[in-house]
């Protein structure tokens, strides 16, 4: 089967996740600009998660642009990724409210790790269906940045047990590796 239904469903779920994240914001009762100062950690947490979701959606789009067919395994692998992505609004809110505490920072890092790991499984499922020697398989071999981002998330999780600010910096760095989509996929349809 073709991938268009999977892509449309993923797009809809991503839109809902982003909408839920912004709904979490509560407007201050005061009308002065200084009333926004306590919301800065929440806004930064939201910004980090919004960018991460944008990066994931962008890379998912590039990946599925070269997919020729999907099967049930790919559908379930994609649902696995969406499950972890659906937890982003909760963890974003918790981290924004408690950025200085270990537990929210640890769970945010675990969430990023699980999303990345699930994405690797999705890519493996797609690669499996396209077979040995396929153009898709040659374009989607695991790269250093995939392993580096996973290591940065693990390092950030470990750091968050002592200090959350450097751990959050590791998460941002791990995500930023993916800001520019894989050039192999991007060049495929130029």
Residue 163 and residue 154 in contact, taking contact as beta carbons nearer than 8 Å: no
How many structural domains does the chain have?
1
- Domain extent at residue 97: 4-189
Measure CA 63 to chain center.
14
pLDDT tens digits in sequence order for the chain, 190 residues long = 788 899 999 999 999 999 999 888 788 888 899 989 988 999 999 999 999 999 999 889 888 887 878 999 999 999 999 999 999 999 999 999 999 999 999 999 999 999 999 999 998 898 888 777 776 666 666 678 888 999 999 999 999 999 999 999 999 999 888 877 666 666 655 5
Find all residues with CB under 8 Å of 54, minimum gap 6, and list them. Answer: none
pTM for the whole structure: 0.88
């Amino acid at each position: 089967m073709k991938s268009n239904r999977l892509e449309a469903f993923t797009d809809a779920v991503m839109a809902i996740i982003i909408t839920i994240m912004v709904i979490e914001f509560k407007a201050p009762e005061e009308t002065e600009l200084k009333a926004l100062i306590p919301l800065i950690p929440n806004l930064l947490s939201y910004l980090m998660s919004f960018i991460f979701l944008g990066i994931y959606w962008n890379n998912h789009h590039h990946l599925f642009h070269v997919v020729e067919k999907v099967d049930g395994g790919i559908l379930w692998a994609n649902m696995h990724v969406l499950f972890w992505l659906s937890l982003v609004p909760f963890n974003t809110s918790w981290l924004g409210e408690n950025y200085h505490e270990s537990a929210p920072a640890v769970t945010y890092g675990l969430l990023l790790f699980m999303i990345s790991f699930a994405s690797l499984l999705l890519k493996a499922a797609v690669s499996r269906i396209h077979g040995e020697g396929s153009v898709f398989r040659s374009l989607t071999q695991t790269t250093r940045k995939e392993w580096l981002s996973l290591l940065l998330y693990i390092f950030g999780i470990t750091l968050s047990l002592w200090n959350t600010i450097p751990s959050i910096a590791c998460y941002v760095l791990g995500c930023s590796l993916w800001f520019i989509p894989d050039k192999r996929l991007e060049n495929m349809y130029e």
